[in-house]
Chain A
Amino acid sequence: MNVLVVLIPISLLLGFIGLLAFVWTVRSDQYDDDKGNAARILLDD
């Protein structure tokens, strides 16, 4: 069971990094134009 001492903090840390990434996307207006973002992937430049 000692492995839990390592695994639990790691899993929490990974989740926390994901959360921070999400907060960053919110703050940089990345949810303002979902249709446009879906279409932009087709642009070459």
Chain B
Amino acid sequence: MTAACPACVAIPDVEDLEIGPGLKFSIPAIHCAACIGKIERGLRDVVGVNSARVNLSLKRLTVVGAANPEHIQDALTDLGFEAYPLDIEALNTARDTVGRSLLTRMAVAGFAMMNVMMLSVAVWSGAADATRDLFHLISAAIALPVVAYSGQPFFQNAWAALRVRRLNMDVPISLAILLASGMSLFETLNGGHQAYFDAALSLTFFLLIGRYMDHRTRSAARSAAKELTALEVQKAQRVVGANIETVPVVDLAVGDVISVPTGARVPVDGVLLSLTGLMDRSFLTGESAAVNATQNAPLQAGEINVGATITLQATAVGEDTSLRRMAQMVETAENSRNSYTALADRAAQIYAPAVHLLALIAFVGWVLATGNARHALNVAIAVLIITCPCALGLAVPAVSTAAISRLFAMGYLVKHATALERLAEVTRVVFDKTGTLSIPTINLPEAMGQTDRAVAKALAQASNHPTSRRLVTALGGVDAADVSDIHEAAGQGISGTSLGDTVRLGRGAWIGADFDGLGFRAGNSEPVPIDVVERPRAGAEDAVRTLRLPAEIITGDAQEPAMAFGKRLELPVSFNIRSEEKLRLVKAMSDQSDRVLMVGDGLNDTAALAAAHASMAPASALDASRAASDVVILTDSFAELPLALKVAGLSRKLSKQNFAIAAVYNCIAIPVALAGLATPLAAALAMSASSITVLLNSQRVRYTK
């Protein structure tokens, strides 16, 4: 590219820069057109940005160009938006080929349906002889290739079911589509009066709408779940000689020395090289108190370092870490949900043989009565087409689409196909405690004066320890005092100088008090104990109270904190329960014909989450636990948990109602069809009317309170 002016030569041409891989950011605060304009305009000036595009539905920003991710994040912060970089590999942004092919098939079926319908209206209003035959021929020319193309999702499902000698809803649907097309072709070629091309096409079109909506709501939930994984950018700090370099976790090898700063998660299994370490294992064991580790102690991936920065030597990396092995075990485990038969399939197992038998009876009956095989076949096929497989095919997807998008709006991501139906059947709820029902917080003592609070805040602000951060949150309204010489004694506390006095915040023994827990001491005054307690998660108390099911807590935590917390929520508690025992307890409940809903977040819950009839995990849960659960709760509050169960219950009820509606239509239509009075017009009306009733009835799930 030649520059227009000599001075321009010095300016690097943006288009000549190598286009880097796309960067993706999650920006939860985007909500309007103004935000889109602000971000896209604002990023244009950042060096290296070729194009920036906001996706408002996903609240996600895609940047193309060789730009530095940190510059972009800074630019976004300047614009007033909090942005989180997403790990593109974890996001797996492969195109949604299934959704796309469904959409195209739906469009093709819609196009064909409308054109054939136009020709059919002429036939219904009295076109006769050569004109009628011509119209039928044109209809056939449009309908047959379209049915062959658009009907494939149904044919494939039906074939897959038949091959393993099972029946699903796609079997009667496929049969109705194929027979309607086949018979209509035969009638057309023989100058017959009736052709059902429009029925075959509208059946395909309506059902594809249902399929597409269903797919779309599910993939929205799945992509939101994937985004949670992608938010945890997998980086580690490797120690090479005297230097520390930041590398992706996948590049770590056995034997590498890794530095883990305060508050960070241990990326791989390893042994501790530092003399001591203070580890939070609550994700792995459910214990709320931190654990002391000494040199050469084994550390597991997933533990959080709450003490000073530690170094460790990797002993297992990547897929070999105990965390990944656990996650894989859960993913591949044969569990109850794979063998669960969905409501629609159970209905199909009754419906399909009944309808097929009815059609056979009609055929045999008419052959015996009139001896006219062609007319008898026409009647039999009319029975198959008119028995509303359309309404039946829509009965469940229409409801689940509405229910899943309702739950999505509430912050509940439904990940699994049969999750709604299983949630509706739950008879008992088991909660994990630490991280699920409870969040550790600080109880500020009344005895602590304003000056002490200001000093304590100044000390706490200087430390990354989780307890310090919680203390800062608890002291939200207080202005920090002026404290100098702040020094942190790892695992003990923080000291400083304020107004000539030495002030200390830390373990009881360290500040010279006679209590064990956290305390504060100014100079030589009486030490003030600060209680670290577990506060129930927002809405947890409401949820437990309004839940009309027996509930209990099963935790890996010690007796004392577990009992105290259970008393507060008025729930029975089992404590000191390890992962395998949790699994055994949940299985024992299932054996007593209880259907258990497990709500948990840690690695110790993962097996139980997978084994339970249905399971939920908060968004803060470990990746493995989220993968094992049916529903991920994105909101911080649990207040709407009973409502989510209610929506699931209602959606099962509405699905059954939809089946009943379809059955009522059948009660009217079947006698007409059996009597040989069904016309293509009657079939079209019955099909549309029943489908629309079913769709409208399904929307009721959106308005439950």
Contacts and interface: CB of A to CB of B under 8 A. Distances in A.
B58 A19 contact: no
A23 B118 CA distance: 22
Contacts of B100: 26-27
B659 to A, nearest CB: 31
A12 interface: yes
A3 interface: no
Interface in A1-45: 1, 4, 8, 11-12, 15-16, 18-19, 22-23, 26-27, 31-36, 39-45
A34 B32 CA distance: 13
B329 interface: no
Contacts of B33: 39-43
Nearest to A29: B95
Contact of B118 (A11, A22, A45): A11
Given A26-B100, A26-B103, A18 B56 contact: no
Given A26-B100, A45-B41, A19 B57 contact: no
Contact of A36 (B41, B57, B103): B57
B372 interface: no
Interface in B101-125: 103-104, 107-108, 111, 114-115, 118-119
Contacts of B107: 19, 22-23, 26
**How large, as a class, is the contact surface on chain B?**
20 to 34
Nearest to B114: A15
A33 B57 contact: yes
B111 A43 contact: no
Contact of A32 (B57, B104, B115): B57
A35 B56 contact: yes
Interface centre among A18, A39, A45 (most CB of B within 10 A): A39
A33 B36 CA distance: 12
A31 B118 CA distance: 28
Nearest to B118: A11
A43 B56 contact: no
21 contacts: A8-B119, A11-B115, A15-B115, A16-B111, A18-B111, A22-B107, A22-B111, A23-B104, A26-B103, A26-B104, A31-B103, A33-B58, A35-B56, A35-B57, A36-B55, A39-B36, A40-B36, A41-B33, A43-B37, A45-B37, A45-B41
Interface of A: 1, 4, 8, 11-12, 15-16, 18-19, 22-23, 26-27, 31-36, 39-45
Interface of B: 32-33, 36-37, 41, 54-58, 100, 103-104, 107-108, 111, 114-115, 118-119, 131, 134, 138, 142
